[in-house]
Amino acid sequence: MDSIHVELEVSRDLLELLNVPEQALGPRLKQLIALEFCREDRMSPERAAELLGLPRTEVIELLERSDIDYSTRVHEEAAAQIEEVWEKLKDQAS
């Protein structure tokens, strides 16, 4: 995965509100960004899990704890995967 390094100044008050130790700030901010993209339907839970290096189930739990509806996106992805498998099976049968 191609990445960039970002330096960010964060007030102690904001750090307190995030309720994370300073050394855990980077991973927590990555989570918050990925969750927001899921909320905006710009990223699937599967892609968020991949980018965060977490199991899909853990991302689903994060989404649920954040009251983010992800079900539509998951169903759309499942339907697309089923369609892809169906097309492969049809091609093999020909």
The number of distinct structural domains making up the chain is 1
What pLDDT shows up at residue 84?
Answer: 83
Asked whether residue 78 is domain-assigned, the answer is no
Residue spans of the chain under pLDDT 50: none
What pLDDT shows up at residue 29?
Answer: 92
Asked whether residue 47 is domain-assigned, the answer is yes
Asked whether residue 41 is domain-assigned, the answer is yes
Asked whether residue 93 is domain-assigned, the answer is no
Asked whether residue 85 is domain-assigned, the answer is no
Asked whether residue 30 is domain-assigned, the answer is yes
Domain that holds residue 55: 12-69
Asked whether residue 83 is domain-assigned, the answer is no
Asked whether residue 3 is domain-assigned, the answer is no
Give the Cβ contact number of residue 52 at 10 Å: 17
What pLDDT shows up at residue 7?
Answer: 87
What pLDDT shows up at residue 14?
Answer: 85
